[in-house]
Structure formats: structure tokens, C-alpha cells
Amino acid sequence: TVPFRLEDYRPPAFTIDRVHLDFALSPSATRVVATLSLRPNTEEAQNGTLELVGDEIVLKGLMLNGIPLDAGRYEALPASLVIRDVPLAPFTLTIETEIDPAANTKLMGLYRSGSAYCTQCEAEGFRRITYFLDRPDVLAVYTTRIEARRSEAPVLLANGNPVESGDVAGTDRHYAIWHDPFPKPSYLFALVAGDLGLVSDSFTTMSGRRVDLRIYCEHGKEGRCRYAMEALKRSMRWDETAFGREYDLDIFVIVAVSDFNMGAMENKGLNIFNDKYVLADPDTATDVDYANVEGVIAHEYFHNWTGNRITCRDWFQLCLKEGLTVFRDQEFSSDMRSRPVKRIADVRTLQARQFPEDGGPLAHPVRPEIYHEISNFYTPTVYEKGAEVVRMLETILGADDFRKGMDLYFERHDGEAATVEDFLACFADATGRDLSQFALWYAQAGTPQIVARGHYDGDAKTFSLTLAQSTPPTPGQPTKQPMHIPVRFGLIGPNGEDLAFSSVEGAAVEGDVIHLTETAETIVFRGVASRPIPSLLRNFSAPVRLAIDMSADDLLFQVRADADPFNRWQAAQTLAMRALIAGTADVLTGRPVAAQPTLATGLAEVLDNEELEPAFRAQVLQIPSEADVAREIGQNVDPDAIALSRRQLRLALARALGPSLMRRYQALGVKAAYSPDAADAGRRALRNALLDLLVATGEDEAIAATTRQFHDADNMTDRLAALASVSSAALPQRRELLDAFHERYRNDPLVLDKWLTLEATVPAAETLDRVKALLSQPGFAHSNPNRVRALVGGFSAANPTQFNRADGAGFDFLADFVLDLDRRNPQTAARLLVAFRSWRALEPGRRTRAEHALRRIAAAERLSSDTLDIVTRTLA
């Protein structure tokens, strides 16, 4: 197929000012009449040919300015409608199409979730509803009329404000009309119809306008929407205070559906959510679920300004809305919760998801320049690295200047489809800074590495710091230029406080930020009273890898004393990572795994430090995952050796911490009724991290405590944590507990997903057969993306030893599953396939088997463009 290239961008030949849509809903034959007000937009319109795109739709009627078109004037195919000799002045086109929502298993366009109708149009789903200029730079004002049988769909929703509703005389049908005054691209169109439960509230904006707030869900689940509603109101208020952004319609609606390809969708005024990011109550949602609900509600709401009011010119600019909006939701959650803990959690996610992408065959710039299938570019690079780039901008400019740039962006581009250049120009213009080198962050893929070396001269009282940067080659980008990397830093002195210095030479240093812009720079700090421990990349000020030769004792000192909480955590992780890598080498050479007294000391001190918040201590206790270690090792990876080394390290740490682990666990015991707030969640996180370490000992007392917690818990966080500890340690007690959990929650699909994931992630040889058996259990549905991701995604992305079985059976299973799913839901299939992205880093035996499975997929006939794209790039 022919790829799309950024350099080929041309403005649309025609533009569409107004769209009137009329839906006559019926499960298998929905009629759509679209009336488009078009006008020629560029010279290219002069040849009089209008080309609209479609996808699997059937044309039923076509009129131009109200007159049916002769068959000779147009050609209608399922994927395109080409009309010749259109007027060179404004005209209307009336297109009637028929679609089959019930047969729409791709969950793009108009489809059914349970008995409801809903839509998903981003990125290219609108063309599955009607023929259109389905591209984000065509902004139109939409009016939508929906008609359905009242009994089938008492609730009829679309974007914008409600205008009118009523019965269709003499029938059992009714209708509703919605009007959205804000011009928007087609990907933001939405419609929902069905028999749904409702939670209502209201919000008064900063200028005193009252906004009707509604969350619709499955009947009976209204109580589980309350937290989402509160999160929505907090988001609306926060966007006013933090960014000066006010909501603009009279109503804001969220609908929770159970069949959804991703997390949620920011359709103007009508956000549609995967119900897993709306529903939460103590018995069914964990603290992490609550935090996710809050974060995703905020993210979609924030899109109203960053994405909807200002949208993207083309899909290459996706990070313009996604990276920026992730940054905004991260900031929101930091303000609602603990900022340092949120930062650590976000960096963990970045390192676990984006770093492997950036270091493997699927690496691409934050703003890609070429794609075959845009659905495959909703990636950790566009989202999470995209957010880091915005964060660096804030670090470089400072909070005040950053805000000035944002204000200018909103002012200058409201109502437009913008580009990354437009965005950066606002910051350059508002502050007078030159951001041309910074712009490379959008263009160059790969994770830069900084190698740092420090030298203290006690006589001269100078500390010289050499920083060298390099970015590895990535697909299509063999060589890289040096980037502008903001390195936040401190020089830790012997009493733990940052040392002062009298002057700096050699690089731009502003406050506590070094602006590294050359390939290598040496910075000389003068007047440094004693040998410092350099604390670099504080708060993870840039998405890079940092290599610095530091002794275990210096790292321990950093764990104890760094003024930056992030780097305290980072120092503990570095100590643990060193131990895990050495341990893996020991396992492979048959040496006994060495004890780690320094790490154990550091962890014990953090655990006992009551000045540190519990959630932070919990993060420190969580040593790097098997996948983290595999990524760090980077080649000839043997997942079994890593798993064994990690198990042994955890056992050694648990032994070193000794009986105090149980004492601390008990001391944190439950006192008051459950509340999902951050402080309580932090205490539970610490308690459950302790429990997890206790379980690693396999001692009876630990297992008894875990079983007790499992049965007695008054909330899902504690119950699931107990179960996960027993299950991931593959203890024999797991079967009984997993079965008990299943019995208790068998009728709750979202909770069953947690159970499916635990089943799929047991690190034991029988897991693959268990996963295969679960595929045909009543609780599983191949058509539901949440079930598929929980079970098959859990197995392939979160069970390193079993997915990467030495016999290749894990790879074969995923290949078979993806090939089968691809025929029904290509987006979800392609997403699963990403589990192979690090296959070249495996040891030769597994590498051969992974390649074989991938080649088998590549050779299959009639692959979707989604799966073909991923498999091709993965093998390239």
C-alpha cells in the first residue's frame, strides 16, 4: 500500500461549512441522510471533481442542490464517492447511505454495545457512516437528528446542545435534534442511543454559566458513576484555574459503554467512555482504578480545548492534542494527589511502555512523518513522550513563560486546525526564545542517552561535570543531531543539602537547569566547598537514559538525602537494577546470587522514615520489573533467568528486612472505612507492597496473613492485592483463591477482567493451557476488547516467562489469536501484536521462534492494514 507522508500535505480542495445528519436507527439497516454545505476551497477544486471517502458503506441516494444526480455524474464504491462537474460555487450535497451497526465488529463508525447504539469516529470512523472529507482540517457546524423506536432507545444523544425532541406521529418512534455551534472535524462527531441509566449534576463556570452534567451508563450501575461525576467537576474547575479554560456548551455528557476499542473519546460535548474508566465503587474498583477514572475523565474533558477548540491539521500532528492533553491530565492529577508520587508513576509508565517502543522496530518520532495506518500511531511515543516534550518546554521556559505561550496558543488558534510548528511558534513569540533546536524532540525518534562524569578538585574547590549526549539510530533515521536537553540538577553536599557554587562555566545553566545543547559539554562549578554527589535529571527533567558511574555508597546517600524525591526513588531503583543485572548473570553462569546489603539498608531506612509519605515508600519498595530488567540488558535476553534473579533478590530483601516486615504490615492495618483518597490509597499501597514482599518468602505466616486479607478485605484494592501476591508467586494456594474470587464476581465483567489477567500472568508452565481454556469459558467474549486485552493482552504483555516460553508456544498462541481476531477487530488485533516489539533482544532460540510466528502472520492472506503494518515494521 501507499504510505501517507507529512510532506505531501495539501489543504482540502473543498471545504464543508455545515453538516446536517439524519439517522433512522435500526439494528441492521440504519439509514443516514447527510446534507453537506460545500464550497470550493483551493485552486484544485477548479477541475470540478469532488472526491469523498467511505468505508464499507452503501450509497442509497445522491442529490446535488436538491436534484438527484444522474448515474453518469458519479461513481460510488464502498470506499469512495467521486462526483464530476460539481459547481465552482457553494452547493449542497445530500447523501443517503445504509449501514449495519449490528454487523460492525470493528467498533469503528456506528456500532452496537449491548443494546445501545454508539459511535467511534477517531481517527477514520466517520467515513463508515457517510461519504465525507474525513480529515481533521475540514471543520463544520453539525446538526444531528436521531430517530428510533422509543422502547428500544429512549435516550437519543449527539454533540452540542439539545434543540428539540418529540414523538414521530402515528408510529412507535421518537426523535431528538442536537446542534453543535462549534465547528469541528468529523472525528469528533458522536451519537449514542439506547436504554440507559442516568446520573445528573451541574457545574457553574467561572463566568457564571450553568452547565448540565450527565453520565449515562447501564441501568443499575448509576451508583458506580458518582466518583466519575466528582472527578469531572474537579477537572472543570482545575482547567479554569490552571489554564483559564472555561467550558463552552450548555451540557456536557459522558456515556459509559462496555465495548470500546480504547479508553475513551473526547467527542465534542458527548464523551464516550470504555466503562472501565467511569465505573468505580469500593467493592469493584482498586485505588489504581479510581486514579485512572479521575485521570481519564480529566483527559477527555481537557481535550475540549486541546483537541476540540484547537484541533490538528492532519494526523501527523496527533501529539499536538494528545501529548499536550496527557501533560495537562498529569498536572491535574499531581494537583489532586501527591505530585512526586504521580511523577514516579508516570515515569515508570514511560519507561515501561515508551522506552521499549523507542528502542525497537516500532520506534517513530513524536510527530511521525510517514504512516500506513494511523490507528497504529496512538502510541506511548505520541502520548507519553509527547507529554514529556511539553513538560520539557515548561522546564526550559519556566512556569510563567510557559503559561504565556499557552495563552497565546489558545488565543491565536481557537477554532483552527493547527500544527506542531504553530504550537511552538506561540512559545517562541510569547517569550522571545529560540526553540528551533528544541523542535528536534518532535522529529527525532529514539531515547537519547546522557553519559555523565564528575570530577571534584578539592584544592581548587571546583566540580567539573561532563555531559555527553547521543541518540541511537531508529528506523529511517540512521544519524541524529544533538538535542536541547534540560537537565535539572543539584550538587548534594555531605550534610544532604545542596551545595552552593559561586560561578559556572561551560554551558548555559539557569537556576537548577543545565541546558545541554551540544554533543558533549563540560560544566565547571566554582566555589564548591566539598565533594558533591551530583543529582542529575531531577524530577526526570527529560525523557532520556542517564549513565553515571556512581558507587553503591553514593547511591545509598542519594536514597537517604536527595532533596528531590524523584531522584531518591531513582537511586534506589538504580541500586536494585544493578543487583538484578548482576543476579541474572549469576543465574546464567550458575553462580550463587550475591547478597545486596546496601540495597537492603536503603530500603529499610525508607520504610522506617515516617517523614516520607506511604505512597512514596511503596514506590521505593517496588523494585524494577522483569520487563525493566530485560530492557536494560537489551540483548540475548533470557526471561527465565531474569525472573529467577528477581525472585531471589526479593527473597533476599524480605529476609534482610526480617520480622519487621510483618510488624510494619500489621501496624498499617485497616482502621477506618474505605475512602479512595490519595492518602488512604498510599497507606494501602505501602501495606500491600509489604505483603507482596512477605509472600515472596513463602512462609506460612505470610500466606495466612494474605489469605486473611483476601477474605476480610472491605475493598477491591486489598482483596485483589492479596490475590495478586499469591497468584504471581505461583503459590499452590492460588487455585483456591482464584476460584473463590471468580465465584464472588462472576457476574461483574470489569472485575472478571482483573481475574482473567491474574490467571494469564501466573508465571507457571500450565498458564498457556489455562489461557486457552479460558477463551471458551462463559465469562469470555471474543467480541469485547476489554476481555481480550485482560486475558490475551495480560498473557502476552505481562507474563514475560510464559509468553516467551522457550518452546515458542506462547508466540504461536498469540499469532493464532491475532490472525483470528484480525478478521473481526483489526485495531485490537494489531494492538496485541505489539507484544512482539522487543523480539530481536531475545536470546537466539526464542528469537528464532518469535520470528517464525511473525513470519507466519506476515504470510497470511487478507490481513487488515492495521496488522499488516505492525507485522511489517516489527520484522523490518
And the C-alpha cell for 227?
466518583
Task: Provide the minimum distance between the beta carbon of 266 and Zn ion in the complex, in angstroms, as a whole number.
Answer: 6
Residue 122's binding partner among ligand B3K, Zn ion, none (Cβ under 5 to 8 angstroms by kind) is ligand B3K
C-alpha to C-alpha distance for 765 and 777, rounded to whole angstroms: 20
User: Min. distance of Cβ 262 from ligand B3K in angstroms?
Assistant: 5
Q: Is the dihedral of CA 803, 805, 809, 811 positive or negative?
A: positive
Q: Under the phi-then-psi rule, with left for phi > 0, alpha for psi from -120 to 50, and beta for the rest, what region is 527?
A: left
Q: Residue 358, by phi and psi: left (phi above 0), alpha (psi -120 to 50) or beta?
A: alpha
Query: Residue 652 binds what, of Zn ion, ligand B3K, none (CB under 5 to 8 Å, by partner type)?
Result: none
Query: Which parts of 220-239 interact with Zn ion (CB under 5 A)?
Result: none
* Residue ranges in 263-322 that form contacts with Zn ion under rule CB under 5 A: 322
Grid cell 531515547 in the structure block, residue: 447
Q: Which is nearer to ligand B3K, 159 or 761 (CB)?
A: 159
Q: Which is nearer to ligand B3K, 53 or 604 (CB)?
A: 53
Q: Of 122, 147, 300, 613, which is the active-site residue?
A: 300
Q: Residue 378 binds what, of ligand B3K, Zn ion, none (CB under 5 to 8 Å, by partner type)? A: ligand B3K
Taking the least distance from each CB to ligand B3K, the nearer of 235 and 471 is 235
Is residue 721 helix, strand or coil? helix
- Judged by beta carbon, residue 235 or residue 325, the one nearer Zn ion is 325
| Residue whose Cβ sits closest to ligand B3K | 122
Task: Give the 3-state secondary structure of residue 579.
Answer: helix
Least distance from Zn ion to the Cβ atom of residue 661, Å: 41
- Check: CB of residue 171 under 8 Å from CB of residue 107: no
In whole angstroms, the minimum distance from the beta carbon of 106 to ligand B3K comes to 11
- Can you give the binding site for ligand B3K, defined by CB under 6 A? 122-123, 262, 264-266, 299-300, 303, 322, 375, 378
Nearest approach in angstroms of CB 58 to ligand B3K is: 24
H-run or E-run covering 147 = strand 140-149
**Nearest Cα to Cα of residue 869 among 820, 831, 816, 823:** 831
Amino acid identity of residue 81, one-letter, is L
Select from ligand B3K, Zn ion, none the partner in contact with residue 123, using the beta carbon and a kind-dependent cut-off of 5 to 8 Å: ligand B3K
The set of cell numbers assigned to 27 is 439494528
Grid coordinates representing 210 are 450553568
Q: How far apart are CA 23 and CA 638, in angstroms?
A: 55
Question: Shortest gap between Cβ of 306 and ligand B3K (angstroms)?
Answer: 10
| CA angle 230–236–241, rounded 5-degree value | 125
Contact 12, 36 (CB under 8 A): no
**Shortest approach of ligand B3K to residue 387 CB, angstroms?**
11
Residue 534 bridge partners (DSSP) = 491
User: From edge to edge, which strands make up the β-sheet containing 50-53?
Assistant: 50-53, 80-83, 74-77
The binder of 137, among ligand B3K, Zn ion, none, by C-beta within 5 to 8 A per type, is none
- Give the three cell numbers for residue 856: 507466519
Residue with cell 548473570: 585
Binding mask 324-363 for Zn ion (x = CB under 5 A): -x--------------------------------------
Q: Which of residues 603-622 bind Zn ion (CB under 5 A)?
A: none
* Eight-class DSSP state of 499: P
Cis peptide leading into residue 123 (ω within 30°): yes
Known catalytic membership, residue 300:
yes
- Residue 299 C-beta: closest distance to Zn ion, Å: 5
Binding segment toward Zn ion, per CB under 5 A, in 44-52, 323-331, 585-593, 597-605 = 323-331
Residue 452 interface partner, choices Zn ion, ligand B3K, none, CB cut-off 5-8 Å depending on type:
none
In terms of CB distance, is 322 or 822 closer to ligand B3K? 322
Q: Is 871 helix (H, G, I), strand (E, B) or coil?
A: helix
Nearer to ligand B3K, 59 or 350 (CB): 350
Nearer to Zn ion, 143 or 271 (CB): 271
Sheet holding 251-257, edge to edge: 197-204, 210-217, 251-257, 270-274, 264-265
Of the pair 303, 309, the CB lying nearest ligand B3K is at 303
Residue 141 CB, nearest approach to ligand B3K (Å): 21
Residues with Cβ within 8 Å of residue 686, at least 6 apart in sequence: 614, 615, 617, 618, 621, 668
Query: Across the beta sheet with 173-184, what order do the strands follow?
Result: 67-68, 58-64, 91-99, 30-40, 14-24, 140-149, 173-184, 161-167
**Residue from 697, 681, 760 nearest 724 by CA:** 760
Task: Please tell me the count of residues contacting Zn ion according to CB under 5 A.
Answer: 2
Nearer to ligand B3K, 20 or 321 (CB): 321
In angstroms, rounded to a whole number, what is the distance separating the alpha carbons of residues 779 and 781?
7
Residue closer to ligand B3K by CB (options 55, 322) is 322
For residues 512 and 525, the answer to whether their CB atoms sit within 8 Å is: no
The alpha carbon torsion through 564, 570, 576, 579 (nearest 10 deg) reads -110
Cell of 557: 546517600
CB of 266 to ligand B3K, least distance (A): 5
* Measured CA angle at 21 (ends 15, 24), to 5 deg: 155
Active site residues: 300
Interface positions with Zn ion (CB under 5 A): 322, 325
